[in-house]
């Protein structure tokens, strides 16, 4: 078994190791708990020991305080300093009433004992006793150290009190000899563990009270270690080894306070007795833990084969089958609540998941191929849609360049070019709008809007397409005005895209209907047609990017497959939904736009731009590296009566600005030498153009480009192709 544990080359050996690891926390906690129990036992013993020590000290202090009171009363008796015989009878009478004291006496200032409760055959002089000298010097009660009485032949401590006259001068000292066997009566009243020790020592470290064997230890000196511990701060536990070799835990307490005595009491309990119960409990815990480990190892060794090993081999066989590509393989193990059943369930679930992932992988491959196909179709469609307007623009430009066109032909050609440029602009705007929406860069300007105003503006934009295809168009509006919170421009864009989509896929002469109604706090705009309809497959992806029905020759308006995707994104930004329904191919389609309704109030409507004629001629600087674009813009501005200078590089424009002093600068951003941003900063630095109006005219339309233009000092920002009406309106508003 030990070899298996070290090799760990079999599941059985690993099971044994797991059992040991599983039991290891219990073993560690057993040891920790045993250590904590011993520490707790020591802590409780220390608290109890200090309490007993304080009680013993208080008892002895009470005895000494009683002696002080007796001596104070004696010192106040006037006859004490009179006749010696009468004084001795008085002290003998007091001694009989206080049997704890073996003698009372009066000491003269020369040390002679002239009055004594116990008669003495010889003259006794106590001038050499420290307690006498301290009482004379301190003029207060003094508890002396250990004394073996010369007269009474007993172990005592002498307690002294000075006799003072009216001038507070010491006349004599009265003393009481306290029998030490009476001092430790408290010791007999308490029960201590076997081997415990209680003793009291005076200021010189001599024992004046002890349990056990007090008579044998009276007057003996305590050990140096005990003396040091007594001199330290009281209340601190100390482990000391006694003369008998027993290690004890000691606590200490002073006898009395305010100078009552210099005695110190200590109680020591054998250290082994403190933790005996905790050690016994820990031993039982260790025995139980050992039995548990033995049974667990036996179970892992013998039962593991039946309950674990065979089932694990079955799982391994299943895993090998799955690894070889047989994803239909399953363990066949009956699921339960134990771990191997969970492993079998997980293995079977993994096989099922792999099967599902394989199906998803194949599906993703198909979707990727479909997306790639749609991308190719979109690029081809984009090229086609851009070529369509370029053809009439190119033909019209050649006609104008020939110089043989009549005025009517010029006007007609100019109108064609304008319409085709607007068509191309809408295509590019759709691309930019989709890019902004997918990147979360669209900001809505919300305001209460009258739905009828949105419908009117959308109809105005869609009407030319309806008329060109001879569609019958009907509008159904509710009698009461409906209000929504939203961005007027974007909601018009949404409705126009849906109407144009209906027009593109409805044959010439077909019918299209727009109905507006309120339903459950929402406003619904329903566009229905009797056009080509949709298959179920197309309805599922009609709002995706680049999704389109099959194009035919009569649907010449085409588009890029962006409009409905843009509709869905913008409607959701307004907190609404859009849905499509169709009975199938050639059965028409119905688009339903649902928007949250708003409380009726004064709705806001967009203020139409009004082009104004310029109030005066302006000096204009046009900077563009595209020569055709610059010259076209020059011709447009000169036709409005402005003085225009043109430059195709930024550095040349700086030199030109110093001489022409332009009031309006139309700057491209992508210039060949330095960027339009840097050119704007330098124009702002020139005194000739510091206050000129700077307008960016660029093909960059990202939000970060606009932010950079603001930082560079531009006043306005136009994206190519320039909206001529908006540019002329801006120029007309300039001061």
pLDDT in tens, 490-541: 898 889 888 988 888 899 889 999 999 988 889 999 999 998 888 877 777 7
* Cα 497 to chain centroid, rounded: 46
Looking at per-residue pLDDT, the higher value among 378 and 699 belongs to: 699
Whether residues 178 and 217 fall in one domain: no
Number of domains composing the chain = 4
Question: Would you say 619 and 663 are in contact if contact means Cβ atoms under 8 Å apart?
Answer: yes
* Domain range enclosing 698: 619-732
Q: What is the pLDDT of residue 414?
A: 77
Per the domain annotation, does 657 fall within a domain?
yes
Place of tokens 């239909």: 328
The residues with which 146 forms a beta bridge, in sequence order, are: 157
CA 142 to chain CA mean position, Å: 69
Dist. CA 23–CA 186, nearest whole Å: 52
Identify the domain boundary among 248, 275, 302: 275
Q: Are 504 and 587 contained in the same domain?
A: yes
Mark whether 250 and 168 lie in a shared domain. no
Is residue 608 domain-resident?
no
Structure confidence at residue 6 as a pLDDT band (50, 70, 90)? very low
Closest CA to 557 of 512, 493, 491, 499: 499
Distance CA 405, CA 14 (A): 98
Strongest mean pLDDT among 206-220, 559-573, 611-625: 206-220
**What mean pLDDT, rounded, does the chain reach?**
80
Contact 321, 329 (CB under 8 A): yes
Statement: residue 695 has pLDDT above 90: yes
Q: Which of 130-139, 378-387, 677-686 is predicted least confidently?
A: 378-387
Three-class SS state of 200: strand
- CATH number, domain with residue 691: 3.40.50.2300
Among the ranges 91-105, 407-421, 428-442, which has the highest mean pLDDT value? 91-105
Same-domain status, 712 and 589 = no
Q: Is 707 within the bounds of a domain?
A: yes
Q: What is residue 101's three-state secondary structure? A: strand
- Percentage of the chain exceeding pLDDT 90: 14
Examine the fold and report which residue of 155, 182, 209 is the final residue of a domain before the chain moves on.
182
**What is the per-residue pLDDT across 578-617, written as a single tens digit (0 to 9) for each?**
999 988 888 889 999 999 988 776 555 454 444 444 457 8
pLDDT at 148 > cutoff 80: no
Q: What is the pLDDT of residue 5?
A: 45
**Where among 229, 245, 275 does a domain terminate?**
275
77 touches 93 (CB < 8 A): no
In whole angstroms, what is the distance from residue 562 CA to residue 574 CA? 19
| 586 found inside a domain | yes
Q: Is residue 83 part of a domain?
A: yes
pTM exceeds 0.75: no
Q: What is the C-alpha separation between 186 and 476, in angstroms, rounded?
A: 112
* Domain co-membership, 463 together with 574: yes
CB 162 within 8 A of CB 75: yes
């Amino acid at each position: 078994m030990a070899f298996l544990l070290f090799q760990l080359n079999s599941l059985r050996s690993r099971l044994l190791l797991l059992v040991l690891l599983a039991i290891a926390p219990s073993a560690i906690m057993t040891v920790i708990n045993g250590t904590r129990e011993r520490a707790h036992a020591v802590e409780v013993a220390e608290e109890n020991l200090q309490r007993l020590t304080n009680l013993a000290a208080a008892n002895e202090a009470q005895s000494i305080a009683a002696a002080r009171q007796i001596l104070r009363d004696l010192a106040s008796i006037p006859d004490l300093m009179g006749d010696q015989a009468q004084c001795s009878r008085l002290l003998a009478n007091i001694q009989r009433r206080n049997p704890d004291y073996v003698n009372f006496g009066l000491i003269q200032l020369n040390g002679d004992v002239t009055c004594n409760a116990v008669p003495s055959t010889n003259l006794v002089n106590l001038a050499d006793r420290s307690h006498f000298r301290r009482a004379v010097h301190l003029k207060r009660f003094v508890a002396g150290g250990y004394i073996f009485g010369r007269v009474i032949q007993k172990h005592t401590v002498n307690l002294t009190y000075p006799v003072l006259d009216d001038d507070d001068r010491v006349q004599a000292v009265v003393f009481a000899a306290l029998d030490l066997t009476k001092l430790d009566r408290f010791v007999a009243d308490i029960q201590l563990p076997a081997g415990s020790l209680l003793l009291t020592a005076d200021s010189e470290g001599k024992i004046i009270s002890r349990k056990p064997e007090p008579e044998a230890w009276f007057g003996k000196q305590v050990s140096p270690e005990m003396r040091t511990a007594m001199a330290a701060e009281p209340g601190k536990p100390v482990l000391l080894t006694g003369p008998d070799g027993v290690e004890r835990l000691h606590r200490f307490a002073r006898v009395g306070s305010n100078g009552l005595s210099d005695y110190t009491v200590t109680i020591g309990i054998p250290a082994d007795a403190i933790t005996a119960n905790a050690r016994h409990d820990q031993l039982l815990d260790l025995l139980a833990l050992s039995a548990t480990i033995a049974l667990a190892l036996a179970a892992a060794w013998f039962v593991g084969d039946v309950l674990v090993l065979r089932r694990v081999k079955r799982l391994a066989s299943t895993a090998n089958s799955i690894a070889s590509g047989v994803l239909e393989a399953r363990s066949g193990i009956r699921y339960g609540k134990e771990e191997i059943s969970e492993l079998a369930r997980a293995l079977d679930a993994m096989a099922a998941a792999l099967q599902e992932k394989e199906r998803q992988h194949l599906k993703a491959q198909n979707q990727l191929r479909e997306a790639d196909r749609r991308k190719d179709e979109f690029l081809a469609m984009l090229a086609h849609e851009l070529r369509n307007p370029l053809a009439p623009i190119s033909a019209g430009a050649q006609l104008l360049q020939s110089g043989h066109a009549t005025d009517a032909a010029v006007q007609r050609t100019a109108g064609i070019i304008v319409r085709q440029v607007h068509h191309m602009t809408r295509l590019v705007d759709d691309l930019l709008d989709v890019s902004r929406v997918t990147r979360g860069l669209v900001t809505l300007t919300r305001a209460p809007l009258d739905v009828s105003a949105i419908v009117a503006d959308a109809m105005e934009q869609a009407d030319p397409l309806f008329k060109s295809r001879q569609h019958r168009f009907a509008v159904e509006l509710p009698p009461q005005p409906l209000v929504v919170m939203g961005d007027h421009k974007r909601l018009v864009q949404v409705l126009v895209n849906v109407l144009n989509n209906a027009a593109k896929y409805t044959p010439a002469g077909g019918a299209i209907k727009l109905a507006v109604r309120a339903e459950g706090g929402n406003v619904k705009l329903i566009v229905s047609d009797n056009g080509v309809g949709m298959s179920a497959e197309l309805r599922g992806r009609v709002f995706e990017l680049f999704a389109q029905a099959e194009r035919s020759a009569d649907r010449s308006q085409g588009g890029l497959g962006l409009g409905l995707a843009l509709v869905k994104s913008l409607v959701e930004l307004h907190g609404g939904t859009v849905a499509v329904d169709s009975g199938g191919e050639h059965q028409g389609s119905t688009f339903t736009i649902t928007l949250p309704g708003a409380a009726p109030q004064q709705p806001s409507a967009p203020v139409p731009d009004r082009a104004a004629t310029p109030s005066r001629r302006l000096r204009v600087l046009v900077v563009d590296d595209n020569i055709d674009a610059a010259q076209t813009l020059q011709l447009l501005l000169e036709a409005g009566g402005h003085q225009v200078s043109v430059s195709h590089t930024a550095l040349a424009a700086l030199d030109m600005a110093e001489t022409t002093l332009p009031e309006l600068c139309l700057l491209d951003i992508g210039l060949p030498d330095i960027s339009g941003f840097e050119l704007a900063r330098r124009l702002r630095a020139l005194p000739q153009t510091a206050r000129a109006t700077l307008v960016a005219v660029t093909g960059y339309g990202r939000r970060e480009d606009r932010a950079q233009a603001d930082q560079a000092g531009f006043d306005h920002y136009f994206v190519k192709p320039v909206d001529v009406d908006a540019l002329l309106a801006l120029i007309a508003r300039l001061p």
